[in-house]
Chains A and B, each alone.
Chain A
Amino acid sequence: MEKRVTFRGWFLPLCLIAPQIVISAVFFFFPAGQAVWQSLFIPDPFGLSSQFVGLGNFKYLLGDPYYRASFVTTAIFSTLVTLASMIPALFLAVLADRLVKSAGVYRTLLIWPYAVAPAVAGVLWMFMFNTRVGVVAWYLGQLGYDWNHVLDGTEAMGLVVVASSWGRISYNFLFFFAALQAVPRSIIEAAAIDGARFWRRFFTIVLPLLSPTTFFLLVVNIVYAFFETFGVIHTITAGGPQQATTILVYKVFSDGFVGQDLGSSAAQSVILLGVVGLLTVLQFKYIEKRVHY
């Protein structure tokens, strides 16, 4: 028998959720609605005039092979960022969880990079890999590898992925670490008595128990890769070379703020909103079924 707390009448519940609704409306629904509205127009930059074009902006975008290619770039980029930020984080969390001495120091050090803003992280990595003065680029040169992310698209992609994932590892570490602490010791001890070795225990007991956290981080990291990596890309590659690192959100920026094409930019935001919404729905529909709470 489920226990329920019930309110009599509507007034109190409405009052309680009102602040959240107001905030969502002001900071999310209103701007999102405006973006949808703007995507139907081609305005001039100064807002002096504007023409209704219906779905013209969408037609223009989807007919552009470079825009369609940007979807593929985004898919590759977000997959890599998600993997590169979650796997090392989990690995480090497992190691930190086993520490007996000075665990606090390690924990603090591992969380540290999260405090670095994406744009600053971008600049740091840019300098390390700068083809002329970069320390890493110089050592690679000594090893006989000619690092040139300015012209090599694969190297550029690798660099922005690493730079975007680096700070994010800390964030993921934090969640994995907390989740690991919550795994009941008794189950692990029972498995150990049954003769299961560490990695065996990890894959059959710990990992399934971590699944709610993993699922949460998966959603959050994909959203991060889609939207918040802008600063890193802007500082390191500006979408280049060619269009190797032009992800969807970077294109929204360059059309809107470099090209002053607000209609196209708004239409792209709407598409992006749709894509992320769809991804989240899919994740909840298919992956969440395999999550054990």
Chain B
Amino acid sequence: MAKKSLSPEARSIINSKVSRRAVLAGAGAVAGAGALAACGGSGGSSSSAENTIRWGNWPLYLDVDDSGKKYPTLEAFTKETKINVKYFEDYNDNDEFFGKVQAQLKLKKDIGYDLVCPTDWMAARWIRLGYTQKFDTANIPNRTNLLETLASPSFDPNRESSLTWQGIMGGFGWNTEKNPKGVRTLEDLFSPANKGKIVVLSEMRDTIGIILRSQGVSLATVTEDQFMNAVDYLEQKISDGWIRGVKGNEYAEDLTSGDATAVIGWSGDMFILKSENEGKFDFAIPEAGGTISGDNMVIPSTATAEAKANAEKLINYYYDPAVAAEVAAYVNYVCPVNGAQAEMEKIDPDLASSEFIFPSAKTMANLSVFRALTPAEETKWTEAFQKAAGN
């Protein structure tokens, strides 16, 4: 997913305006409460170990105060429940994190986390392998706030062991000077003005997903032939010199440096680029349809019963629309919680009307989720995609 390549420093500089705006405009109440609770929240406090949970998440994926050390919503949670949360921003890469903890999960030894946030397809793998625990739904009444589009993914149809942390839209991003008419179809993307200056995502479900949708293929039922056909299309565009890179979030740097003029990218990054560059960049969901995926909160099979119950309380807390709105005001990805939009009105009306954070029903209808792959498909399809990308 997102957020792996930009350094935390760079990211916080980019983010500072947005997050500060959110803090000043209304989250102030919570921020103040956090300041009063002299040493609550992540890390520091000396409360008993059994009341502590450990949460591994992607970097810069939770509201943080200006000092960059305190997480206002987390502190409020600790104050409310007396549960301490050790928050680690060390989930940098799905594959890498999986490689790190897989052996312990297999041996049923503590992996050091009670809550982690894998992306859909990786969450699917965790669930398939029995590395997660089913939620005690009585502890998470707010789970019913989950957006309908995300409510029944094929890897966890009833959301029994995963709930979306943030949603990620995949679509077209572009430089408005080089693409005055915008980019809404693959033909627009591959227009002569962008030749050699196109970057696509290294996340195959987004890049191939968008190509598939413009070929009229449904992502819920995509077959191997259809997938390989789309990979061939991509490979052809690469060898013809249209595409200069297949990358993670580095595409954002390429856009700002002018090396890329149009991309297949993610909504959260593009939101920041757009708001920081006064109309120089824009983002849209392709006419033929875009992708939506999510990073999911799952409880590892190795968490103790007590940690599990506490983690469930934490999940429930973040599914409270008011809390979800605060997180969304900082993170700028798609907020998965119904009712958060109304709460956002109080924090920042501009953000509340943002299609990036709260896509309208019309936009939502045009987004689809890539179906879960079998292990054999996963290996074969990833291999084909990686080869097209020159690897």
A and B co-occur in one complex: no
Residues of B within 8 A of A (CB): none
Residues of A within 8 A of B (CB): none
